[in-house]
Amino acid sequence: MERAKSIKHVYKAVKFNRCDTQYQLVGEVPQLSWLTARVKIEKFQGFSKAYNIDEYFRLRGATSWKSGEQVTGLWKSETKNAYYGDRKTKEGKTLILFFRSPDLESLTVHIFPTGYNPSKKVINQLINELK
């Protein structure tokens, strides 16, 4: 199976709160991207049926965080500071990879084409290639 090409986004931390870290995109939002210029990773509060996660990834809405999309939980991978998740839409699940610096100052997000949802083995291979 051919590896899908991802769109890379690099974010820098701009605000550390007790329950979340907010990131601002470095540069412009890439063409064909559905991510926003401002995103955050927030602690999982237990308000969904998700399990085995500590944090969630959220996009900033037009007017507030509350109006933004809570995209996915961050599942730990075999690689330190690397996580994966998926965005669920009508077209199906789509893979997202997250790489955080140890000091949490930077966040790199790779989004994949809609509907690309590989096995955990392939996800780990992608993480090793992209880290």
- Cβ atoms 81, 101 nearer than 8 A: yes
Domain span including residue 61: 7-130
Query: Residue 63 falls within a domain, yes or no?
Result: yes
- Cβ atoms 106, 14 nearer than 8 A: no
Query: Residue 100 falls within a domain, yes or no?
Result: yes
Query: Residue 2 falls within a domain, yes or no?
Result: no
Query: Residue 24 falls within a domain, yes or no?
Result: yes
Q: How many domains, in total, are found in the chain?
A: 1
Query: Residue 40 falls within a domain, yes or no?
Result: yes
Query: Residue 1 falls within a domain, yes or no?
Result: no
Letter string b/e over residues 76-94, b meaning 16 or more CB atoms within 10 A of that residue's CB: ebeeeebbbbbbeeeeeeb
Tens-digit pLDDT profile for residues 50-65: 556 789 999 999 888 9
Q: How far apart are CA 43 and CA 54, in angstroms?
A: 6
Compute CA distances 123 → 16, 60, 95, 102, whole Å. 29, 26, 8, 21
Tens-digit pLDDT profile for residues 107-127: 999 999 999 999 999 999 999
What SS3 state is found at 43? strand
Which pTM does this prediction carry?
A: 0.90
Query: Residue 35 falls within a domain, yes or no?
Result: yes
